[in-house]
Amino acid sequence: MANSTSTTLVRVDRVSPGYDPAAFYRELVYDKEHSIKEIEMIYGESYGGYGITYTMYCFVDSYANAQRLAQTLAGRRHGKSHLSSKMRLSDFLRDEKAMPKTKTVRFDGLPDARRHAIVCELFNESSFALVVDELDPNDWEKSADQYIEHVENLYDSVLVRFKNVQSAWSIVRRYNGTCYKNDTIYLTCVDDDELNGILEEKKAKDKNVMYFIPKIKPGASRQEIDKVFAPHVPDDVQMPPGKHYAFVFMRPNAAAEFMETYTKAIAEDKYKKFRRVGWNWQVNLGRKGNKANRGSAAPSAEFKAVPASGRIDTETYGGYSNLPMKVDVLVNKESLPTPAPATTPAPIQGHVEIRVSGLPYAATEENVHRLFENAQFQVQGTKLDNTYKGNAHAIVKLDSPAEAQRAISTLTGRNLVGRKGPKNLKCKITVLMEST
């Protein structure tokens, strides 16, 4: 194989399949003027109106000879040549001796938007089936030398695991350096452990149960989090820097035992166990991909789950100002606060509807209500419409035409103030309808 450190590459695209590659090879190899060291013909496909073509790589011993070869090939009918002094033989056709004998192939050089699709199309454009980044062998049109077990799409490449080493090597030698749909593909065999590690980590995260812990004290350590869950050991704890919350991942068995202890402590009014690290905390439990089966077992006859809209008294429930809304926490049903009887608002005798336009798409009804409330308006109702991306608008009901005129004169052009400060867009107010 040619020495990659002194090789200059000439690439010839769109070589017609009707052109005899053997004759072209003999013509160039025996032409001493160009001093060609190696020629590689790679089958590829071009969809720019040229049909199925070849891509040829000619490796020349010097840049000057490569320039002469490029000029010679440029005038021929069989293809279009490209010259690069920075490309080396090892960049396109990796030495087989240097490649590990593995079943995993990494695809590089593909655009982000089409990376996964191109890998699929390379093998079978009609029946290559993907199910959640995983291939179903039954949906694969089997061939003698190509058979895929798994495809994993990474942030900068694609890893493909083949049935055997021979298939992996065959794909690398066939497609490495190929120009496919205006993208140049680079392939190499990599260690199987690279994909094994990714799959094991992904499998572990999919099966783990996640707890969301808000209201932790600043600078809380992993050891303090572990104390809360002791004697159960979390599998992983993620605490974003500068934030007051953490994500705790536990194995399903350990998570089930913890929830049993947690709910039992609440039912028996034993809260010190969960507050011994010195800060008030809550737990939200969620399971990835299983929204219908969150939390612990079904409530028994003597206990019931805290309602999603419930607010728990701090004295009765040991310091929990808000029990988590996504956890099936079991408490004694007799201890739940009695909800206040529903009241029916008095009918509106008269109002004026005004339209507030020019609002940011992320605006909320609370933002609009606060805008009027800060200006001493009595708002009878607010309805926000942000169905379409872009500027939103709201319909606000006020008491009288005089209030509507005052809103137009005082609030038109004012910035909408949200939780993170004033928004860039300014509101515009117009009267829509008057009702008495």
SS (H, E, C) 323-354: CCCCCCCEEEHHHCCCCCCCCCCCCCCCEEEE
Residue matched to tokens 């093998």:
123
Choice among 112-121, 136-145, 153-162 with the minimum mean pLDDT = 136-145
Mean pLDDT over the full length of the chain? 60
The fold adopted by the segment(s) 4-88 is: Alpha-Beta Plaits (3.30.70)
| CATH architecture label of 351-435 | 2-Layer Sandwich (3.30)
Q: What percent of the chain has pLDDT over 90?
A: 0
Q: Check residue 26 and give its pLDDT.
A: 63
Residue predicted with more confidence, 322 or 80: 80
Q: Cβ distance 310 to 322 under 8 Å?
A: no
Distance CA(78)–CA(71), nearest Å, equals 14
Taken in order 302, 305, 311, 316, the sign of the CA dihedral is: positive
Taking only the tens place, the pLDDT of each residue in 237-253 is: 888 777 777 788 777 77
Is 103 in contact with 192 (CB distance < 8 Å)?
yes
Model pLDDT, residue 49: 40
Checking if the pLDDT of 424 tops 50, the result is: no
Q: Which of 412, 296, 407, 402 is nearest to 357 (CA)?
A: 412
pLDDT for position 201 = 66
What is the per-residue pLDDT for 97? 53
Per-residue pLDDT averaged across 27-46, rounded?
A: 56
User: What pLDDT score does 280 carry?
Assistant: 42
pTM: 0.31
Q: Give the per-residue pLDDT at 29.
A: 58
The Cα 121–Cα 40 span in angstroms is 23
122: left (phi over 0), alpha (psi -120 to 50) or beta: alpha
Predicted pLDDT at 194: 77
Give kind and range of the element (H or E) at residue 416.
strand 415-418
CA 261, 262, 264, 265 torsion-angle sign: positive
The pLDDT confidence band at residue 269, using thresholds 50, 70 and 90, is: low
d(CA 153, CA 133): 7
Most trustworthy range by pLDDT among 57-66, 211-220, 300-309, 341-350: 211-220
DSSP state letter for 61: S
Which tokens sit at 254? 């350990």
H/E segment holding residue 170: helix 165-175
Helix (H, G, I), strand (E, B) or coil at 390: coil
Length of the chain: 436
Answer yes or no: is pLDDT of 102 > 80.
yes
**With contact defined as beta carbons under 8 Å apart, do 171 and 187 qualify?**
yes
Q: Pick from 280-284, 313-317, 408-412 the range whose average pLDDT is largest.
A: 408-412
Q: What is the pLDDT of residue 77?
A: 44
Pinpoint the residues of the chain covered by CATH 3.30.70.330: 4-88, 104-199, 209-335, 351-435
Retrieve residue 234's tokens.
């979390």
Of the ranges 183-192, 286-295, 394-403, which is most confident? 394-403
pLDDT for 364-401, tens place per residue? 788 788 878 877 787 877 787 766 555 677 888 887 88
| CA distance to 84, 99, 170, 255, per residue, from 158 (Å) | 26, 17, 17, 34
The better pLDDT of the pair 340, 307 is held by 340
The three-class DSSP label of residue 284 is: strand
For the domain with range 104-199, which CATH number is right: 3.30.9.10, 3.40.50.300, 3.40.190.10, 3.30.70.330? 3.30.70.330
Q: Quick check: 355 pLDDT over 50?
A: yes
Angle between helices 401-411 and 365-374 (to 10 degrees): 100
The pLDDT value recorded for residue 388 is 55
With a cut of 60, say whether residue 330 has pLDDT above it.
no
Q: Which residues contact 243 (CB under 8 A, 6 or more apart)?
A: none
Please say if the pLDDT value at position 406 is more than 80. yes
The CATH class given to the 209-335 domain equals alpha beta
Structure confidence at residue 305 (pLDDT): 32
Contact 105, 175 (CB under 8 A): no
The distance in angstroms from the start CA to the end CA of the chain is 92
The pLDDT-based confidence of 195 (bands split at 50, 70, 90) is confident
Q: How many CB atoms lie within 10 A of CB 95?
A: 10
Residue 179 has pLDDT above 60, yes or no: yes
Residue 198 has pLDDT above 70, yes or no: yes
Three-class SS state of 68:
helix
Whether the predicted pLDDT of 74 surpasses 70:
no
Identify which of 82-91, 110-119, 287-296, 346-355 has the greatest average pLDDT: 110-119
**SS3 for 82-138, per residue?**
EEECCCCHHHHCCCCCCCCCCCEEEEECCCHHHHHHHHHHHHCCCCCCEECCEECHH
Residue 129, pLDDT > 70, answer no
Q: What is the mean pLDDT of residues 312-333?
A: 30
pLDDT of residue 274: 42
- CA separation for the pair 216, 222 (Å, rounded): 11
The mean pLDDT value for 70-90 works out to: 48
Q: Which tens digits make up the pLDDT trace of 214-237?
A: 777 777 778 877 877 777 778 788
